[in-house]
Amino acid sequence: MNRRFLFAFFLLVSRTLFAAEDTQTGFRVVQERSADGVTLIMKSDYCVEFTVTLEATLTNMTSSRPVPFTVDAAGRSSFVLARFKQADKSRSWRYNYYFRWEYGGRRNSTENDADYAMPFGPGRYVVMQGPRGTFSHFAGSGSENAVDWDVPEGTIICAAREGRVVGVRDDSTVSGTDPKFKPLGNYIIIKHADGTFADYHHLQTDGAMVKIGDAVKVGQPIGLSGQTGFASKPHLHFMVFQAIDGKKVLSLPFRLKTDHGTFTEFIRGQAY
Ligand SMILES: [Zn+2]
């Protein structure tokens, strides 16, 4: 009997485009192949709070769980995503799969009842794009409630809320308004005690002042602002979010508390 085994797979991760970056984020799927199938194991080196969505196309194979599906890592750094097994032993089999991940487990609520400090040193800062802005904070998008602060390149970014650093990227050197730059921004991701996360985005190249695993206090300098990724000029994109699934996040409204007032609405061109 001429039995052919075909392996085919494609990887897609939502925050990265290139294989080399997998080592940086630490998120990857390892395949353990056997004569009649494969086991897909999700691995994460640095962050154990994340959500994965797996999609797959199977030919003459069954899956240990129906695809597509979404699963929370829930504190695990390594776990089996699925096992694909040959169905009819006399026929060849093949599979394609796509996995995508987002920081954070899925929460039961969308509450964000916390105070956030201005993510810079003392002073007033102008909003370049507020929630539901029409450049990139569209209603219904994952950045719906993000705020872009108009700050020059190299401005010291401070933690707006205490937490733990779970994601850092600062090796990107490019920016522009072409959508191809969307996954190429430098960032720091901080996990808060309530399971929400903050994204400090578009940092300068080599602009991170913290590393994964660091505990940070409110007001602590964490990095330098810049213009990397999808950006037309230097600014800090700040947002609080939680995962919806491995492909999408929900950005949450947040309450900014400063020494000159408390704000929950952010209007373009105004200083806070
Ligand atoms: Zn933005």
Instruction: Of 19-33, 56-70, 205-219, 240-254, give the lowest mean pLDDT range.
Output: 19-33
What spacing in Å lies between the alpha carbon of 55 and ligand 1's midpoint? Answer: 29
**Single-letter residue type at 2:** N
Kindly state whether residues 61 and 150 are assigned to the same domain: no
> Does the pLDDT value for residue 5 go beyond 50?
no
Quick one: tokens of 218? 């409110």
Is there a single domain that holds both residue 125 and residue 25?
no
Percent of the chain topping pLDDT 90: 83
- Give the model's pLDDT for residue 22: 52
Percent of residues, the chain, with pLDDT higher than 70: 91
Instruction: Round to whole Å and give the CA distance between 205 and 257.
Output: 29
Assign residue 158 the CATH number of its domain: 2.70.70.10
Is the residue at 30 inside a domain? yes
Residue 222 lies in a domain: yes
Instruction: Judge residue 254's burial from the number of C-beta atoms within 10 Å of its C-beta, 0-12 exposed, 13-18 middle, 19 or more buried.
Output: buried
Same structural domain, 159 and 80: no
Same domain? 257 vs 164 = yes
When divided into structural domains, the chain yields a total of: 2
Q: Which amino acid is at 185?
A: G
Q: What is the pLDDT of residues 180-197, one digit of tens each?
A: 998 899 999 999 999 999
Distance 90 CA to ligand 1 centre (A): 54
Among 64, 79, 103, identify where a domain stops: 103
Residue 219 lies in a domain: yes
CA of 144 to the centre of ligand 1 (A): 9
Rounded to the nearest angstrom, the distance between the alpha carbon of 146 and the centre of ligand 1 is 6
C-alpha 235 – ligand 1 centre gap (Å) = 8
| Other residues' Cβ atoms within 10 Å of the Cβ of residue 47 | 23
**Residue 59 structural domain:** 20-103
For residue 71, name the pLDDT band (cuts at 50, 70, 90): very high
**22 in helix, strand or coil?**
helix
